[in-house]
Amino acid sequence: MTTTVFTKYRGKKEFLLVYSELINGARRRGTLTYQEVAELMGLPPRGSHMGVEAGHLLGEISEDEHLNGRPMLSAIAVSTSGMPGSGFFELARRLGKITDTSADAQRRFWEKEKEAVYATWQKDFKE
């Protein structure tokens, strides 16, 4: 298992904005698009630069979550296909969370990880 691969955004405003929005999305059992992540980061909504930078930041967030014993929060960040991009699954493999690279296995892993994110960040209502 590899730890801390990315270090570009930790501690910066963009990291905190995206982290906060991901937590809010998880509490609502929703998702956040890569375009919304890019907007929070002040990037254009499309293009390879946007994809690389958003991927780096989402990777840092998921590494931190993993190191703190929580599921990959970036499981709720999705592309126009409605699923995370290939970088999400590559990071999951580096973290030792998935070994099967088939599309079926990746979809099952993502759905399980997304549900774990929702459970971790669910709203607790007190009576």
Give the model confidence (pLDDT) of 4-55 as tens digits: 555 788 889 999 999 999 999 999 999 999 999 999 999 987 888 888 899 9
Q: In this predicted structure, what is the pLDDT of residue 9?
A: 87
pLDDT at residue number 7: 76
- Find, among 66, 47, 49, 46, the residue nearest to 5 by Cα: 66
Q: Domain of 20: which CATH number? A: 1.10.10
CA distances from 2 to 32, 42, 48, 94, 113 (A): 26, 29, 25, 6, 19
Residue 8 lies in a domain: no
Instruction: Please check whether residue 54 is in contact with residue 34, taking contact to mean a CB–CB distance below 8 angstroms.
Output: yes
User: What percent of the chain lies above the pLDDT cut of 90?
Assistant: 78
Q: What is the pTM of this model?
A: 0.88
pLDDT one-digit tens code per residue, 72-121: 999 999 998 999 999 999 999 999 999 999 999 999 999 999 999 999 99
Query: 27, 121 in Cβ contact below 8 A?
Result: yes
Alpha-carbon gap, residue 74 to 88, rounded angstroms: 7
Of residues 44 and 67, more confidence is placed in 67
The answer to whether residue 126 is domain-embedded is no
Query: Which phi and psi (to 5°) does residue 26 adopt?
Result: -65, -40
Report the number of distinct structural domains present in the chain: 1
Whole domain around residue 99: which residue ranges? Answer: 13-120
Six token digits for residue 29: 């059992």
Which amino acid is located at 75 in the chain?
A
